Amino acid sequence: MTRISVDLIETVTPLVQERVHEAARRLPHLQYADLRLEVTEAKGAGAENGTPKFSGDDQTLALGVRVLAGDRMCAPGYVGLMLGAADVPNLARIIGEALEQAYRRAVVNGEMKADAREKFGPLGEALADTRLHPVEVRQDTVGAVYRVDPRAMSLAEMVRYATDISRQVDAVDAGVKYNYVSTLTELSRELFVSSEGARIDQTFALTQGTCTVVTVAGEVSQDLYDALGHQRGWEILLEGVDEPLLRFPTFLDFALGLAREGVALATAPVLPTSEREVVVVTDPHYNTLVSHEIIGHPVELDRALKMETAYAGRSWLLGGLTEHQIGRRVASPLVTTYSDPSLPGFGHYKYDHEGTPARRVVHIDRGIFRGFMNSRQTAAIFGGEPNGHWKATDASLVPLIRMSNTVFDAGTRAAEDVLKEVDHGYYIAGHRTPSIAESRENFRISARRVYEIRNGELGRLYRDGGIAADSRDYLMNVDAVGSDFRLYPIPNCGKGQPMQTKRLGNGGPTMRSRARVIGR
């Protein structure tokens, strides 16, 4: 038995296509079926306080099936499986059984939906057939981009590298009491096949470095975490990234910088909380999380259509099919936001997980709300063309509407000028932890560093602070947007039930607005 490799996808594609089309022909009341098969070859290594802690070289094989079927009403059914090398010889049987099981669930679900529609009178009328908005059916193969093949990396070298960085972080200062450094490099290949005839074969390279540092000064601990990464090979950790939108130092410098920051913060005073709104200038790293939380999440159409009410929440941008903010002013004319899978980084892809060609969708155009990220199902309900944002963390899980690269667009001002114009205010640098209201109408996000601004200059450094505001007020109060746009990776966005943790991209430029600063 050989080890699973991404080459398996090519080998089994005809079999998968045959199984899906055969099921579509054979099973009565089946209206649509799709299947995702994903192979990942990943290597990782981690070190703690200058000593090696783990490494791993593994391959995963995941399978996911969706069927829409039903006699009296059409409904969905799903199956997800994590497989191994021992399953490869039996793949035809396993795929056939998964299609049958998803079909059975869909048919039973459709029958019960029809019963409920009859039983609950006026409330039953909302129960509708499951429909997918048509998309162009594509057959395509998309290759990965990397210089150092993730599969070629030596595990021993990865351990040595992580341990060396951890050792150097430990040596930064006696105040560094703990650090954890981890690295990952992987190649994954995803096959999507649908009963409509789609066949999409996409391969992605991904490399990531993460660092956690705890610094202590007396009764104060500062625990900081940050990640760098890109859809490239190991070279990005050694050389950094210097692209127009995405820039990182080497992973060593990145980790050392985080440690030095932690040392400085542990002896800084706590930010005092302001009684009322003050002028705040936010840097691109901080705005990465702001764009994630108060732009990206509320423009996910599944959430806006209430499908996440019990988990990730709703969106203040949509009450019902005719009560929404589309066409209305929700931000200052200086604010434009969009999601764009064609940008580089963690949020890049050509097709989403139902084969929809991915494209840029503008959410806010010079302050006016324009629209949502969607899927075929939500587009069929709300209207509009599918824009390719239905994504799962792995093929065994049901996709959700997910951000690609969701960002604040660049403005025209020099970032230095945005700061220099401030008589008194606060400079909010580096994102830390978010807490967002249920419909994303209010937020509090802590920063890594907060500086007082006096007469256009950075003053005292504070720890344990951030800003809080109502989302619309904050966006409406933006009065300056810098030209220094940066894109950053978000390695751990959680959504769904069971929770799916996903990598994606966010970013923005320096911006100026008004908010309460909150420390203690």
Partner 1 sequence: MRTIGELAKAAEEALALVTGQPAVVEVEVFAAANSALLTRLNYTSHIPCNGVEEPKSTESYGLGIQAVFDAPDGRRIGFGSEPSDLTPDGAERALAKARTAAVADPEFVSLPARSASPRALANYHDPRLMEIDDQSLVEAGWKITGGALRTFTASSRLAALAQDDDALRRLGLIVGGDVTILRERVAIASTAMPRAQTDETSLITAFVTAMVESRGAKGSGASTGTRLDHFTDEAGVEAAQNAINAIGGERVPSGVYTVVFGRQPVADLLNNIVIPACAAGAFYSSSTPFLGKLGRSVASRHLSLYDDGAMPGLMGSKGITCEGLPTGRTDLIKHGVLAGCLSNWYETQRLLRDPALEEKLGARGPAAEAALVPRNGFRFGAGGGRQFDSPPGVAASNVVLEGAEPLTLDEVIRRVGSGLYIGRIWYTYPINGLRAGDFTCTVVADSYIIRDGRIAAPLKANAIRINDNIATFLNNITGITKDVKGTIVWAADEVVYAPEVAVTGVHVDEIAGFMEELD
Q: Does 464 bind partner 1 (CB under 8 A)?
A: yes
Q: Are 405 and 487 in contact (CB under 8 A)?
A: yes
Binding mask 134-163 for partner 1 (x = CB under 8 A): ---------------------x---x----
Q: CA 39, CA 59: separation in Å to the nearest integer?
A: 7
Residue reference for tokens 């005719």:
322
Stretch that binds partner 1, among 75-83, 145-153, 189-197, 506-514 (CB under 8 A): 75-83
Stretch that binds partner 1, among 100-108, 251-259, 402-410, 485-493 (CB under 8 A): 100-108
Closer residue to partner 1 (CB): 145 or 225: 225
60 binds partner 1 (CB under 8 A): yes
Applying CB under 8 A, the span of 21-29, 74-82, 189-197, 280-288 interacting with partner 1 comes to 74-82
Q: Are strands 176-194 and 405-408 parallel, antiparallel or unpaired?
A: unpaired
Residues 6+ apart with CB under 8 A from 122: none
Q: Candidates 30-38, 99-107, 191-199, 281-289: pick the segment binding partner 1 (CB under 8 A).
A: 99-107
Of 183, 196, 124, 185, the C-alpha closest to 376 is: 196
Between CA 239 and CA 232 the distance in angstroms is 12
- Using the minimum distance from each CB to partner 1, give the nearer residue, 87 or 452: 87
- Residue from the set 28, 323, 327, 423 that interacts with partner 1 by CB under 8 A: 323
Name which of residues 294 to 313 contact partner 1 (CB under 8 A). Answer: 305-311, 313
Half-sphere exposure of 221 (CA within 13 A, CB side): 7
The answer to whether the beta carbons of residues 32 and 193 sit under 8 Å apart is: no
The one-letter amino acid code at 108 reads V
Contact with partner 1 (CB under 8 A) among 19, 36, 105, 449: 105
Residue 327 sits in the site that holds partner 1 (CB under 8 A) = no
* The residue count for the chain: 520
Among 76, 341, 411, 425, binds partner 1 (CB under 8 A): 76
∠ CA 284-290-294 to the nearest 5 degrees?
A: 150
* 93 part of the interface to partner 1, by CB under 8 A: no
**What are phi and psi for residue 415, nearest 5 degrees?**
-60, -35
Q: Of 6-35, which residues contact partner 1 (CB under 8 A)?
A: none
CA–centroid distance for 203 within its chain: 18
Q: Among residues 341 and 496, whose Cβ is nearest to partner 1?
A: 496
Answer whether 404's CB lies under 8 Å from 358's CB. yes
Please give the residues from 479 up to 498 whose contact with partner 1 meets the rule CB under 8 A.
494, 497-498
122 binds partner 1 (CB under 8 A): yes
**Contact residue for partner 1 among 13, 221, 250, 483 (CB under 8 A):** 221
Site for partner 1 in 227-286 (CB under 8 A): none
Angle at the Cα of 519 from the Cα atoms of 515 and 520, rounded to 5 degrees: 135
Residues 6+ apart with CB under 8 A from 387: 339, 356, 358, 359, 361, 373, 374, 379
Number of residues counted as binding partner 1 (CB under 8 A) = 104
Choice between 496 and 509, CB closer to partner 1 = 496
> Of 258, 272, 158, 162, which is closest to residue 215 (Cα–Cα)?
258
Phi/psi of residue 120, each to 5°? Answer: -105, 20
The correct pick among 171, 174, 321, 414 for binding partner 1 (CB under 8 A) is 321
One residue of 223, 243, 416, 417 binding partner 1 per CB under 8 A:
223
**Which of the stretches 140-148, 173-181, 187-195, 422-430 binds partner 1 when contact is defined by CB under 8 A?**
173-181
Task: Please give the helix or strand (H or E) that residue 391 lies within, else none.
Answer: strand 390-391
Site string for partner 1, 360-399 (x = CB under 8 A): ---------------------x--------------xxx-
CB nearer to partner 1: give 102 or 246.
Answer: 102
Per CB under 8 A, contacts with partner 1 among 426-455 are 432-439, 441-442, 444, 446
Helix (H) or strand (E) holding 111: helix 91-119
Q: Within its chain, how far is the Cα of 393 from the centroid?
A: 9
